[in-house]
Amino acid sequence: MSTTDAQPAPVETAGPDTGRRPQTSSRRRRLAGVAFTLPGVLLLLLFLAGPFLMALGLSFTSERLASPLPTRFIGFDNYVATFTSSSFRKALGNNVWFTAIVVPVQTSLALGLAILVNQRLRGVRIYRAIYFSPVVVVMTVAATVWLLMYSPDRGLLNGILSLISFGTLQSDWLQSETMALPSIMIMSIWQGVGFQMIIILAGLQEISGDLYEAAAIDGATPWQRFVFITVPQLRNTLIFVGTVTMILSFRLFDQVWVMTRGAPLGNTNTMMLEMVNIGFEQQQIARGSAIAVIFFLIVLTLTLIQRRFLKEEVN
């Protein structure tokens, strides 16, 4: 931290200022500090902290988007209504189910891909770029293209299935009660896995080569090296990636908005879709806010669990 303070007049002093210049300089710097942070602070208060507190407040009222009725304080009624709504419970269940499948599958796939593209092979950068490229195709576009591919009678996926199974395998994909959510999972993994791959790749490249050399001298098999070096060394990265994927799974919205709007029978409904339906389409701002608060509590819990696990690593 301390730099060469051989200058006659110290630029920054903790004690009382003696020289003229340092005094004005540090005052100017303090003023600049306030001025530099002011726009950001105002915007964050107005568009993040403020609305967040407002969500808490509104969730205990009867507020609607446009209504002549006066706003009343109604306690926990919105939360009770939310949790007793079968459509919300189904949506929450879908999010949990989505998380339970997508987080382990996507994280392991990302790890596998990262290991593959971390090899010193000619042209490996091109493969890395290709695996990452669906991230650049934004989610609404990906969902649109897959919507057509999932078409039961003229879709590409049934075409491929039919080809490799000689016409025996077919699926109604998004229109099937059982396959709708798995179809969205497959598309989501395809679109997002490249992002996680890059983060894990960065983690892989920080592992010291000495560890692998030492293991090779001890005669460790590739599998042993993976289990005893790669995975433990990547612990923090994997926890980070896993948590981020979990949070993204609870934010699930774009895909279902484009592909199903929750159909069939609410089997692809999600918390965020439910929030938009209640808070916006039905104009029940207060109940929508209650869903937002519940959603935030889930995100907060996941983040706190992540922090706890990351801390253990340090000790």
- Binding to another protein, residues 249-288 (CB under 8 A): 251, 253-254, 257-258, 272, 275-276, 279-280, 285, 288
Is residue 175 within 8 Å of 268, Cβ to Cβ? Answer: no
Q: From the list 90, 103, 155, 249, which residue makes contact with another protein (rule: CB under 8 A)?
A: 155
* Residue found by looking up tokens 């306690």 in the block: 75
Binding segment toward another protein, per CB under 8 A, in 81-89, 94-102, 150-158, 176-184: 150-158
Task: Please report whether residue 147 would count as binding another protein according to CB under 8 A.
Answer: yes
Least distance between another protein and beta carbon 178 (Å) = 21
Task: Please report whether residue 148 would count as binding another protein according to CB under 8 A.
Answer: yes
Task: Please report whether residue 296 would count as binding another protein according to CB under 8 A.
Answer: yes
Q: Cα–Cα–Cα angle for 71, 76, 78, nearest 5°? A: 65
Task: Please report whether residue 189 would count as binding another protein according to CB under 8 A.
Answer: no
For residues 186 and 181, what is the distance between their CA atoms, to the nearest angstrom?
9
Least distance between another protein and beta carbon 280 (Å) = 5
Task: Please report whether residue 171 would count as binding another protein according to CB under 8 A.
Answer: no
DSSP state of 234: T
Task: Please report whether residue 182 would count as binding another protein according to CB under 8 A.
Answer: no
Task: Please report whether residue 241 would count as binding another protein according to CB under 8 A.
Answer: yes
Task: Please report whether residue 215 would count as binding another protein according to CB under 8 A.
Answer: no
- DSSP 3-state of 64: coil
Task: Please report whether residue 72 would count as binding another protein according to CB under 8 A.
Answer: no
Task: Please report whether residue 214 would count as binding another protein according to CB under 8 A.
Answer: no
Closest C-alpha to 198, from 277, 114, 90: 114
Task: Please report whether residue 145 would count as binding another protein according to CB under 8 A.
Answer: yes
Least distance between another protein and beta carbon 213 (Å) = 13
| Residues in 95-124 that interact with another protein by CB under 8 A | 113, 116-117, 119, 121, 124
Q: Give helix 86-117 / helix 77-84 axis angle, nearest 10°.
A: 70
**HSE-up (13 A, CA, CB side) for residue 219:** 0
Residue type, 182: P
The CA radius of gyration of the chain, in Å to the nearest whole number, is 26
Residue type, 98: F
Whole-angstrom distance between the N-terminal and C-terminal Cα of the chain? 25
Is residue 188 within 8 Å of 104, Cβ to Cβ? Answer: no
Q: Which is nearer to another protein, 97 or 236 (CB)?
A: 236
Least distance between another protein and beta carbon 272 (Å) = 6
Backbone angles phi, psi at 148, to 5 degrees: -70, -40
Task: Please report whether residue 20 would count as binding another protein according to CB under 8 A.
Answer: no
For residues 156 and 171, what is the distance between their CA atoms, to the nearest angstrom?
12
Task: Please report whether residue 60 would count as binding another protein according to CB under 8 A.
Answer: no
Task: Please report whether residue 78 would count as binding another protein according to CB under 8 A.
Answer: no
Q: Which is nearer to another protein, 18 or 162 (CB)?
A: 162
* Residue found by looking up tokens 């016409």 in the block: 167
| Residues in 124-143 that interact with another protein by CB under 8 A | 124, 127-142
Task: Please report whether residue 239 would count as binding another protein according to CB under 8 A.
Answer: yes
